[in-house]
Every structure is written in structure tokens, then in C-alpha cells.
Structure 1
Amino acid sequence: MLVEMAKRGEIDPWNIDVVEVADRFLQELEKAQKLDLRISGRVLLYAAILVRMKAEVLANEALRVDDSEEQAELIPDEIDFGEFFDEGFTDFKDSAESVEGDELISFLLTPHRKVRRFTTLKDLIDELKRAEEVHKRRKRRKRREEEKDVKVILETPHEENIEDTIALVEKELSKLFSKNRVLYFWEVVKGKNREDILSYYLSILHLAFRKKLEVEQQRIYEDDIEIRWLGE
């Protein structure tokens, strides 16, 4: 998308204004949505990064951070856009993992980080690709941690009586349902540690299997889990 914008002459590949390109990028996304075009996870990720970079630039300027850098190079009459990305790079056409908010771009929150307002297309694309790699590493690490935690909980019945935990969770939920028709998982486990959260989750699944509860989640990994009481 950025390369296409440069080819159309909408942005200067040798002197890109991060604030302006962030706004233009969002405009392109809005056009794509109106046309019902498929928008990949990578495009959404890059949009989030550009918005964050814009915020950093404006914040730095508001604080009078001297981060200017002159780029007075002459622009050639003809530009080979192939030099702005690596061989095999397909811009935003390939799919990517979904966006998960600010954690995807937390590397941009490094203390005292200064984001340049003006940069080249190549440097901007490199920055976006670095952000994507950080996101992928964080996703892999998070997945490994979750798998490890689930394994620990699944092995718990061999070390302690899981029925005691289920009974405890059922008793607590029964009290909560006396005041609420519907509960939400993250409200129930608020303030609890990771191990307790997983124990509650496993117990609620057991209770749902036993027809004591009804659980529903509209979108996996995105929406909270709704819990409805079916017991007496």
C-alpha cells in the first residue's frame, strides 16, 4: 500500500512525513472497508504502528524535543521502487496474524524513544517490518507460556483432588449468581493469580460439562466468556 502510494506520487519516498502518511494510510483503509475489500492482519498491524508513531512524533514536538534531521537530497526524475524493499517482499498483500492492541507495538514505548517525523520509504518499511517481528516473537512466547500453564493445570489432578477445586468454584459461583443472571469469566477471576485463573477455567468447563453452567464466547480469544447458571 505504501509503495503504491509512492508510485501514484501521493508520498515522497525520499522524504516521508510520518504524520501525513499515517493519515493517508488510514484513509486508504477506510476506502477499502467501504468497498468491502479484505484487509489483512498485517495491514491492520502496520496501521496501528503508524498511528503510534504519529502520536510519538506529535508528543515529542509538543515537548519541544529537538529531533529534526535535514534530508535535502535531490530526488531523481525516475525512481526504481524495487530498491525500497527486499527481494520477495510483497508489501501488504500476504496475510498475517491479527492485531492485539498496543502490545504489538510496545517496542515503540521504550523510554526516551525519539521517532523521526521525516524519513525515507525504505527506512519506514524497515521499521514496520521490525515491529512485525517483535509482534511475532511476543505471540510465540505468549503461546508457549499458555501451553506450559495449561499443562501444569491438566497435571494437577494427579497432585490434588480436582473435585475439591470444582466444588469450591461452584459454591462461589452460586453466591455470585444470587445477584447476577449472567457472569463474565474475567470478572469472576479478577485479582487472582495465573494458576488460580486456570484452575477456575478448568473447573467451569467441568461444571458446564455436568450441565451446571452454560458458557458462551462469541469470538474466541477476543470476547469475554459469558457464564449462565443452570444449577438448582
Structure 2
Amino acid sequence: MELNLDQILQSERAWEYVLLDIVRSENLDPWDIDISRLTAKYTERINQMKEFDLKVPARLLLAAAILLRMKSDRLVDSEEREAYAELLRGDEEFLFGDDDEESGPSEEVPLLTLITKRKHLRKITLEDLIGKLEVSMRPKERKVKVEPFVLVFDEVDITEQIEELYTKIMESKKDKIPFDDLLPSKTREDMINTLMPLLHLANDSKVKLVQEKLFEDLYVLSEKN
């Protein structure tokens, strides 16, 4: 899957490409995303882009701010939450800066409230996370009073997609399958919908994903190899 970095950064869904790549490269469990680790790697990736003088899109920064607040909201201990709130403000200032309006998000970051029991925090799947980030970044009418945005994580079942993709991989005669061969089409939607179940298969050790360099061709090796 050969992707041009400039094209990705210009896409409205650049934040989603970055999330998926982090899940793949860091071997995160797509059935139980570690929000703290994902957030740390996401902000680290944005900082790397800034070091290379790349223009970071507003939606990438907006997603970072939402992830930081989700991470803070999932902290159980109240003192830990209060201490993290200070770090959060520092992280947002570092990400967005004080005087560069163009680099900061043009949309208001919604207040987030996770509906979950503090002693037994619900697992967040990759599909949950992407879906809720997508909803929270939709344009909203500005109001004088900002209402809290409530995140209620619904179960997302992609078992059928995973099984269909696994069957397709096992029936392939190639030992090393190019990611493009598994795509119904080259649309961004089909790329995302194919990559997500593929990450689940890799997490279950049913396939191996091979990509020598970031954004270069991605290959799939099945367990039969």
C-alpha cells in the first residue's frame, strides 16, 4: 500500500490513518485499546511531524486534544485526575501553541464525559474509538453554553468482516499478499474497512503484517507460511 505522506496529511481522515498505523506498529490490541499508550504515541507522532516542519492539519491536532481528555477522564483516582489536568493543559499548549492560529484546531474541542463505572472501566475497541472520535469532530453550531459531549461506547461486531477477510487470505495462492490485493476498491473507506479486521487477525497471530518503511507497501503473510 504505497501512500504519499503529503496526500495523507491533506486528507480529512489523516488522523485515522495515523491511529491505525500506531495500532499496527505498536502491536496494540484492537479489542482493548490502551488509551494512555495510544495517546502518548499519537502526540509523539505529531511532534515528529513538527520537527520535520510538516504542516499538521487542524483535525490531527483536534483528535490529539480529544484523546488527551479521554485519557484524563479514564483516570480513576481523583488526585491523579487533578494532577493530570495540569499536564493536559501543558500538552495542549505545546500541541497548539499560543500565537499560531492556523496550526491550531479551528473547531472547539468538546467536553467529554465517559459513561463507565470507575472501578470497572469498559474496554474500548478500535472501532469504538474511531467512531466516537469521528462523531466528536463533526461540525456543531456554536452555543453560548457548551453542553458536555457524552461518549457512550456501543459494542461493534466486525466478526463477519474478520472471517471473510481471513478466508480470502487463506484461499490466496500467494505467499506474500500485497494489501492492495485484499481491497474491494482503492477508496479510503475500503482501505480502512480492510485494515481494521486485518489488525484483529494480526493481533490473534493469524497473519503477519510486513511493512519495511512507514507509508510504503504493506504485505500480509498468513499462518500457513
TM category, shorter: 0.3 to 0.5
Q: Compute the TM-score of the two structures, normalised by the length of structure 2.
A: 0.39
Q: Which has the higher helix share?
A: 1
- Rg: which structure is higher? 1
Q: Compute the TM-score of the two structures, normalised by the length of structure 1.
A: 0.38
Q: Which has the higher contact order (CA 8 A, sep 6+)?
A: 2
